[in-house]
Amino acid sequence: MQNVLDKVDRLMRLRNYSPQTRKAYLFYIKEYIAFSENKGSSESQLIVEDFLLSKHERRQSPQTINLALNALKFLYREVLGERKKINLRFSKRNKKLPIVLSREEVRKVIEAVENHKYRLMIALAYACGLRVSEVVRLKAGDLDLDELMLHIKGAKGKKDRISILPHKLLNDLRNLIAGKSSNDLLFPSNRGRELSTTSVQKMFRKALAKTGIKKEATFHSLRHSFATHLLENGTDVRYVQALLGHSNIRTTQIYTQVTNPGLKNIKSPLI
């Protein structure tokens, strides 16, 4: 097994796959190999089907099953060199609306964080529409305080993009980058290294619990809220798409369902 996993990891590194994708693919391939050892069949298609069905039976999400399928296709096609195609379609995704915090709820979450560095991270994530992985990787040179612009480098899909900076955080950001070189992390750990995304997400959950907000929000809800509030302010969806870094505008248009003003103006018939 280890020999196969080493080959998978080596090839993914050569193709510059992200650390998150490499970790996920290796996990599902390792899980699949252990699963296949207990199967009598040598037909890869049938084993893959049984493996994915076992995930369905354990009520794993369509997103998880699709990721596992992608990992196995990579294993068979790219590493093992099987010419026979795995003929499976992707599982249908759950069509859930994003969880969005109101402006007042965002304010409450920010104010619930006692640590100044973490409080600024939450405020910046909301103000710029950042993913948690993007926040922890920000460097001092990514900020253009004169133009109120933020350069997000190597984001999801290895894409760079530009986002906006709020004037409200200008003084905090100036103080933060004072004495830093352009390549220094904006929010380093106490040891000067990159903070783990897990620690930042944990901090967000603690702040959310303090506010008493009952929504099942996550750190990523700040990004959802950024997009929704921009649309509510009348920003064109194409500009929101660019700020979020979405390749397809249909991904961005889901926020128009959350912020539909026509629905909000309808009165319930219950008097």
Residues annotated as part of the active site? 131, 156, 220, 223, 246, 255
Four-CA torsion 164, 166, 172, 173, nearest 10 degrees: 10
By DSSP bridging, strand 143-144 and strand 159-164 are unpaired
- Neighbouring CB atoms inside 10 A of 260's CB total 12
What angle in degrees, to the nearest 10, is found between the helix axes of 19-36 and 44-57?
Answer: 110
33: its two tokens = 């190999």
The CA distances from residue 257 to 29, 104, 232, 233, 260, in Å, are 37, 20, 11, 15, 5
CA distance 155 to 137: 9
H/E stretch holding 134 reads helix 132-137
Q: In the sheet that 159-164 helps form, which strands lie side by side, from edge to edge?
A: 143-144, 149-155, 159-164
> Rounded distance, CA 140 to CA 188, Å?
11
Residue 122, judged by CB atoms within 10 A of its CB (0-12, 13-18, 19+), counts as buried
Eight-state DSSP code of residue 194: B
